[in-house]
């Protein structure tokens, strides 16, 4: 992973973990141990799932940059779809509080996405690699240096 990928990952995972921890405490206070467990599972699910997604997107950016936007959108839709599937899958469980679980998944997803966008918008990402334009290449001087 490049340093920019690590910065995006840290910038999104840290606030999401804070919100997840807060959800665990609030879930424990308002819904007991089942609420805390639901919040913990929901927060871990979002952090793990979105971290894997960021790693896959990072790989795609390195190997096939032309498809980055299309793949990023598709990956986001798949992540949201799978999270929705988990919400449906666990809707009738009695192992933990499903309302706290669902609210935690929603809150953590919103925080992750917002933080990811904020970190990415603050980075200065090169859209064009220096020296990759027309007339550049091995053994050729940039146009402004030629006399």
Report pTM. 0.78
- Looking at residue 17, its pLDDT comes to 96
Classify residue 109: in a domain, yes or no. yes
Residues 6+ positions from 108 with CB-CB distance below 8 Å: 16, 19, 20, 23, 42, 43, 46, 47
Return the pLDDT at 43: 97
Residue 111, C-beta contacts closer than 8 angstroms, at least 6 positions apart? 15, 16, 19
Q: What is the pLDDT of residue 102?
A: 92
Is residue 145, in this structure, part of any structural domain at all?
no
Specify the residue for token string 């424990």: 28
53-65 pLDDT, tens digit each: 888 888 888 888 7
Domain-located, residue 116 = yes
Q: Is residue 56 part of a domain?
A: yes
* pLDDT at 130 > cutoff 70: no
Does residue 110 belong to any structural domain of this protein?
yes
- pLDDT at residue 136, as a whole number: 59
How many domains does the chain fold into? 1
Query: 92: domain range?
Result: 3-120
pLDDT at 3: 73
């Amino acid at each position: 992973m490049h340093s920019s990928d690590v910065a995006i990952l840290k910038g999104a995972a840290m606030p999401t973990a804070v919100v997840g921890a807060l959800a665990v405490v609030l879930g424990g206070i308002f819904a007991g141990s089942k609420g805390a467990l639901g919040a913990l599972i929901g927060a871990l699910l979002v952090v793990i799932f979105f971290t894997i997604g960021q790693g896959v997107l990072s790989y795609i950016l390195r190997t096939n940059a032309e498809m980055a936007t299309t793949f990023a959108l598709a990956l986001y839709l798949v992540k949201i779809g799978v999270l929705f599937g988990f919400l449906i899958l666990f809707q009738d469980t009695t192992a933990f509080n499903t309302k706290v679980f669902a609210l935690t998944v929603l809150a953590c997803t919103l925080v992750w996405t917002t933080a990811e966008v904020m970190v990415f918008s603050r980075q200065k990402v090169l859209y064009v690699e220096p020296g990759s334009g027309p007339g550049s290449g091995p053994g050729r001087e940039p146009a402004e240096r030629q006399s």
